[in-house]
Structure 1
Amino acid sequence: MVYVARARLHRRRANVIQTLKTVEGLDKIGVGVRLFVPPWQGKESLEERLRYLGVLRRLDVCATPWLKSHWKAFHFAPFFWIYGRLLKTAASVYTRSVPISLSLTRRKIPHSLEIHDVAAIHRTGALEPVLAAYRRGVVRNLFSISRAAAQMLIEHGAEPTRIHVCPSGVDPAMFRKIQPFDPRRLKSPHIVYVGRISRDRGLDILERLSTLDCCRVTVVGELQDPPRHSPIQVVPFVSHRDIPKYLEEADILVMPYQRHLPHAASISPMKLFEAMAAGRPIIVSDLKPIREIIENGRNGLCVDPDDPEGWVAAVQSLRANPDLALRFSQTARNDAATYSWENRACTIRDVVLRNSGA
């Protein structure tokens, strides 16, 4: 399989980690993958970058300058001049980049496309060309990141039988050594959010929670909007391989995404699956794609993202019901195994290789 990506390995972004973990998962189940990416900045070797991003296997990664952003206007022409024969003869070609997909389509190279943000693709005018290529069979398979994203594609005319839901994943092994959740700590819980936080990702919710006398709130990542007044502790971005130890320190994990977040309609955040694998009680925004993973009252709590007091009530509910919080955490941890990168890779392998005739 050939995977063509635009992920820059020096960036600590979810799309970079998700791409690498997908390739690593394919490698673990015996699918050889050659991954093309743009060059990364800095002097680190490939092995050092992969280790920093939590990837321990040696992957076949080819860095090529012809995938840099400034070649997008030229449909990445030099890349296809150099590697066109390889792409045309590969057992299968895979990408999660719509510009790459459109460039593959221009050259009539069959491939599979993984889609995350349907609304953004539609806004840019690229959705109809993608679906036209899909109807012609150049895009052989569409992998949607959530059932909500799949439904959006169907509403735009995609054939349901050729859309395959493939949520983000997690490496459960990364979390096996962390200490179990201790419900007694809910008397004064440590509430943690991992990643970039802004108003549209729920900073107002975190600020409200940080005003509670019983709690402390930590963001492991970056405040993209300045806080108004609250004492939120910020731990700057850490290596992805170190995420488990910060989740281990949490008593409650929160994901307060707002409805007006651009990709809220189809989101499938990696941090959600990592929170589940960490075995901590989770409070999430009551958004359609999130409810595909978190069932309110079974493996977590879903709260109206527009209701800060509802989030306060959810925290207080966990504090008042430690046995319930423990049950949520254990159920979520068991559920996380379903979303391993290897399971995700099996879905991709079974669909892509079967439909490519390999």
Structure 2
Amino acid sequence: MSDPGRLLYLANARIPSEKAHVYQIFQMCDAFAERGARVRLIYPRRANLDELQDVGDPAAFYGVQRSPELVALPCLDPVKLVTIDLPALGKTPLNPAAFAVQTATFTLAATAYVRRHTRASAVVYSRDWPLLWPLAVGRERPRPVIWEAHDLPQGQVARRALRRLLPRLDGVVAISQGLARELAEWTRSASPPVVVASDGVGLERFSRVPSAAEARKQLDLPLDQQIVLYAGHLYRWKGVDTLARATAQLPPSARVVIVGGTPADRTSFAAWLRQEGLAQRVCLAGYVPPTQVPSYLAAADVLVLPNSGSVPISRTYTSPLKLFEYMAAERPIVASDLPALREVLEHNKNAWLVHPDSPQALAAGITSTLADPERGRRLAAAAALDVRHYTWNGRAERVLTWVDWLASKTNLP
């Protein structure tokens, strides 16, 4: 790397957080450090959820061995009002306005910190492209600036802003081939260098998982039912509503367990389940610390990835963390048949793929997988073998090797 090993990771996120992207950030910081980088994680000092207030060591919370150097910077935080204090206010126009104020003030603080306290040759790395504007545009001395792309904005104003920024970046890490292709279509000849690096998993987290029976006893889950489990957030594009509707067509022995979601989202989803008459078939386990997730996955008979095909982030861009953890858990996977997921999954090889956004198709896929344990074991074993190609350490090595290549091919310091 340019400055031997100095990497500044800018993250506009609450730390710690129940959100998957912060988990991913800590896994990558740990993996970068394992590969020799000296990582400094710069984030905003923001209000947090009550259940996360007592987390003293974020690295231990996320189950990583090497904590990055943590730097919390001040910012204005109206997001607290619309997401934590009064979530009913979290709608347009208040929600976007609150996030805009928080993002703008943290961007100013982060830019000032980077310019004041770090060498110009240190690599600046972020998932949040708005943070990179001041550091990539009008730089007095070239500082390598890398964007890790997980999504592309859909609004016209944000799209124009990102198109203007992209040629000024030194490189982009795209989490999927579909995202990389769309970036190339966006920018044509002005595209910065792009490398594709799918998300990954820490296989060591799954080296000592309990048996299904032991996991169910630990977690107080029924021993006499077939558990169909989803782990993740409750956003609509994740397809949890499709999974809930599919429960009506599952065998009586099946019990759907949903792990995850913010408090506000769980409250809203639970109300929707009651309204639809589905509450008796779905168990909302709520948010659990990342260190407990492998035990929940081990308890399952089938793991479900019901992504919707209705939006680009789900259809084309995503590289779901849960996908790789499902594979490492060595349980059969039933997933939506979408281009983003087919970059890793193959029907009847390492997963059973079904038509997206169809409760009937999802229920049929789950039912047939439950009814054919031999097929389930075959799919699970193949997935566990394939996931060895998707580790955090491997991903970090790929990214850092690419950054070194960029430095050798360009005028980076």
Tell me, what secondary structure is at the counterpart of 1:19? helix
Q: In structure 1, how many angstroms separate the alpha carbons of the residues matched to 2:113 and 2:374? A: 60
User: Out of 310, 317, 320, which is 1:266 matched to?
Assistant: 317
What do residues 124-157 of structure 1 show as CA deviations (whole Å, max 9, x unaligned)? 533444444443xx31111111111011111112
String of CA shifts for 1:245-296, please: whole Å, max 9, x gaps.
Answer: 1111111000111122462131111011111110110011111101111111
Contact 1:91 1:356 in 2 (8 A): no
Instruction: Work out whether 1:293 is the aligned partner of 2:344.
Output: yes
Give the counterpart of 2:176 among 110, 128, 146.
146
The one of 308, 322, 345 aligned to 2:373: 322
What is aligned with 1:246?
296
Moved more, 159-168 or 300-309: 159-168
Superposition RMSD on alpha carbons, in Å? 2.7
Match of 2:158 among 105, 126, 129: 126
Shift of 1:111: 0.4
Instruction: Supply the distance in 1 between the matched residues of 2:113 and 2:193 (Cα, whole angstroms).
Output: 31
Gaps of 5+ in 2: 1-6, 78-98, 214-221
Q: Tell me the equivalent position of 1:229.
A: 277
Tell me which residue corresponds to 1:15.
21
Q: How many positions carry a matched residue from both structures?
A: 352
CA contact (8 A) 2:146 2:170 kept: yes
Per the alignment, in what secondary structure is the counterpart of residue 340 of structure 2? helix
37, 44, 50: which one aligns with 2:59: 50
5 Å-filtered alignment, 1:38-187, equals: 38-41=44-47, 48-66=57-75, 70=101, 72-73=103-104, 76-87=107-118, 89-108=120-139, 109-118=143-152, 121-135=153-167, 138-158=168-188, 162-179=193-210
Report Cα offsets for 1:20-43 as digits up to 9, x if no partner.
111111011211111111125469
SS in 1 for 2:148: strand
Equivalent residue for 1:342, pick from 393, 397, 402:
393
Instruction: Determine if contact 2:172/2:192 at 8 Å carries over to the other structure.
Output: no
Q: In structure 2, what residue type is equivalent to 1:105?
A: A
Is the CA contact 1:75–1:103 (under 8 Å) kept in the aligned structure 2? no
- Name 1:206's counterpart in structure 2: 243
Distance 1:239 1:74 in 2: 30
Larger deviation: 197-206 or 318-327? 197-206
Structure 2 counterpart of 1:162, which letter?
Answer: P
Question: CA 1:12 to 1:48, structure 2 compared with 1: closer, same or farther past 3 Å?
Answer: same
Residue type matched to 1:149 in 2? L
State the alpha-carbon separation in 2 of the partners of residues 82 and 285 from structure 1: 43
Q: 2:9–2:126: 8 Å Cα contact kept in structure 1?
A: yes
> Is contact 2:74–2:109 with CA below 8 Å preserved after alignment?
no
Does 2:249 match 1:219?
no
Deviations 1:103-140 (A, max 9, x none): 2223424301111112xx242533444444443xx311
Q: Structure 1 vs Structure 2: percent identity of aligned residues?
A: 28
Tell whether the 8 Å contact from 2:354 to 2:362 is kept in structure 1 after alignment. Answer: yes
Q: What is the TM-score when the length of structure 1 is the normalising length? A: 0.89
CA contact (8 A) 2:302 2:370 kept: no
1:33: which partner in 2?
39
Q: 1:326 to 1:111 in 2, by over 3 A?
A: same
Q: Which amino acid aligns with 1:114?
A: E
Deviates more, 1:155-164 or 1:298-307: 155-164
Deviations for 1:145-189, whole angstroms, at most 9, x for unmatched residues?
11110111111125678211111111111011124679xx99952
CA distance in structure 2 between the aligned counterparts of 1:126 and 1:53, rounded to whole angstroms: 32
Shift of 1:312: 1.9
Separation of aligned partners in 1, 2:144 and 2:295 = 42
The residue type paired with residue 24 of structure 1 is D
3-state SS of paired residue (1:234): strand
- Equivalent position amino acid for 1:4 in 2: L
8 Å contact kept, 2:210–2:295 = no
Render the CA deviation track for 1:196-250: whole Å, top value 9, x for unaligned.
2254432333223433213110011234432111220111101011101111111
Aligned match of 2:363: 312
Partner secondary structure for residue 277 of structure 2? coil
1:88 CA drift (Å)? 5.3
Contact kept? 2:42, 2:110, Cα under 8 Å: no
Say if 1:139 and 1:9 are closer, same or farther in 2 by CA, change over 3 A. same
Q: Distance in 2 between matches of 1:54 and 1:107?
A: 39
Q: TM-score, normalised by structure 2?
A: 0.78
- Structure 2 distance, partners of 1:349, 1:13, is 25
State the 1:63 CA deviation: 1.2
**In structure 1, C-alpha distance between the alignment counterparts of 2:244 and 2:8, rounded to whole Å:** 44
Q: What secondary structure is seen at the aligned counterpart in 2 of 1:157?
A: helix
Q: Which moved more, 1:148-157 or 1:260-269?
A: 260-269
Distance 1:346 1:336, change over 3 A: same
- Distance in 2 (CA, whole Å) between partners of 1:122 and 1:2 is 28
Change over 3 Å in CA distance of 1:207–1:114 after alignment to 2: same
